[in-house]
Amino acid sequence: MPDNAVKRRLLNEIFEVALKHFGPRDWWPGDTADEIVIGAVLTQNTNWTNVEKAIVNLRKAKKLSLSAVDRAREQTLATLIRPSGYFNLKAKRLKAVARFFADRCNCDLAALRGEDPRSFREELLQVYGVGEETADSILLYALDMPIFVIDAYTKRIASRHGLCSADVSYGDLQKVFESNLPRDRQLFNEYHALIVEVGKDFCRPKPRCESCPLFLDRLFLTKGSLRKARQTVCLKSQA
Ligand code: SF4
């Protein structure tokens, strides 16, 4: 694996190229910190379009806050969030998350801003239904803490560009980003949002390298990763 100076250069260049192509993404798509927390649970195993429908229902029913979720009946929530899929399970998870924040800070998220991100992360991971990606999305986007969010897109793009192996663990890939970029929450926020754009539009299970803004020789860390990306383009042009 390449050394950290090389990874640092590559991570910076990928960011610059993606930012130039897509422009600032202004994430997360939510008006309040509470809405971001709720959205982070609802987006598990589904796409954002479905989450939006569930959020509209919650808003109309005046249940789009952690205190309202904490007071609501689980079955009522399940009915409202039905469009997001796995609605019974997610209603249970929402209730658990809301209870956690009710106990921890009386649902006043602003009161948590001074918490140590790593130890607060450990607390969040103990909450029913909160895995690493959900916890980190809450920490970064709702609580403005400098934690890098890893998702399937991040893993796919990073491995295809030679930054890690395809079966890298969540924690190891998070270290690649966090130890090679300035610990800056705005940078982490923007970077993850740009990764989602690349993943959604181009770096799909079947990559669309031919039209992807990241298809530049200098953005591949190893000869093998560049060769593979070129092959996908050749295979398409032959088809
Ligand atoms: S589609 Fe190709 S060029 Fe774009 S990020 Fe994925 S591997 Fe890289």
pLDDT digits (tens, 9 = 90+) for 36-47: 999 999 999 999
**φ and ψ of 63, to 5 deg:** -120, 20
- In the reported structure, the alpha carbon of residue 159 is separated from the centroid of ligand 1 by a whole-number distance in angstroms of 10
- In the reported structure, the alpha carbon of residue 220 is separated from the centroid of ligand 1 by a whole-number distance in angstroms of 9
The domain boundary, picked from 92, 123, 142, lies at 142
Q: Residue 123's domain is classified under what CATH number?
A: 1.10.340.30
24: tokens are: 């600032």
Domain identity same for 187 and 127: no
Domain identity same for 18 and 56: no
Domain identity same for 51 and 101: yes
Q: Residue 159's domain is classified under what CATH number?
A: 1.10.1670.10
Instruction: Specify the residue with its C-alpha closest to ligand 1, atom 6.
Output: 203
DSSP category for residue 43: T
CA separation for the pair 178, 158 (Å, rounded): 13
32-36, 155-159, 221-225: segment of lowest average pLDDT? 221-225
- In the reported structure, the alpha carbon of residue 19 is separated from the centroid of ligand 1 by a whole-number distance in angstroms of 15
Domain identity same for 41 and 19: no
The domain boundary, picked from 142, 158, 176, lies at 142
In the predicted structure, residue 1 carries a pLDDT above the cut 60: no
Domain identity same for 17 and 71: no
Domain identity same for 63 and 111: yes
Pocket-forming residues, ligand 1, beta carbon under 6 Å: 157, 160-161, 198, 202-203, 207-209, 212, 214-215, 229
Q: Provide the number of structural domains found in the chain.
A: 2
Domain identity same for 210 and 185: yes
User: What is the Cβ-side half-sphere exposure of residue 181, based on CA atoms within 13 angstroms?
Assistant: 26
- Site to probe by mutation for ligand 1, drawn from 215, 227, 233 as the one with most ligand atoms within 8 Å of Cβ, is 215
Domain identity same for 19 and 39: no
pLDDT digits (tens, 9 = 90+) for 64-111: 999 999 999 999 999 999 999 999 999 999 999 999 999 999 999 999
Whole-structure pTM over 0.95, yes or no? Answer: no
Range of the domain at 17: 4-25+150-238
- pLDDT attached to residue 2: 61
- In the reported structure, the alpha carbon of residue 157 is separated from the centroid of ligand 1 by a whole-number distance in angstroms of 6
Instruction: Specify the residue with its C-alpha closest to ligand 1, atom 3.
Output: 215
Domain identity same for 134 and 48: yes
Q: Which range has highest mean pLDDT (23-27, 112-116, 123-127)?
A: 123-127
Domain identity same for 57 and 111: yes
- In the reported structure, the alpha carbon of residue 162 is separated from the centroid of ligand 1 by a whole-number distance in angstroms of 11
141: tokens are: 């986007």
- pLDDT attached to residue 92: 98
When computed from its CA atoms, the radius of gyration of the chain, rounded to whole angstroms, is 19
26-35, 58-67, 185-194: segment of lowest average pLDDT? 26-35
- In the reported structure, the alpha carbon of residue 192 is separated from the centroid of ligand 1 by a whole-number distance in angstroms of 15
How many percent of the chain have pLDDT more than 90?
A: 89
Is the distance from CB of 96 to CB of 37 less than 8 angstroms? Answer: no
109: tokens are: 């998220």
- Here the contacts of 9-15 (C-beta below 8 Å, separation 24 or greater) are 10/161, 10/163, 10/219, 10/221, 11/163, 11/176, 11/177, 11/180, 11/181, 12/181, 13/218, 13/219, 14/157, 14/161, 14/214, 14/219, 15/187, 15/190, 15/191, 15/194
The domain boundary, picked from 122, 142, 162, lies at 142
Domain identity same for 76 and 51: yes
pLDDT digits (tens, 9 = 90+) for 169-192: 999 999 999 999 999 999 999 999
Q: Compute the C-alpha angle 181/27/7, nearest 5°.
A: 20
Cis check: omega of the bond before 28, within 30 degrees of 0: yes
Domain identity same for 107 and 162: no
**First and final CA of the chain: distance in angstroms?**
33
Atom of ligand 1 nearest to the CA of 202: 1
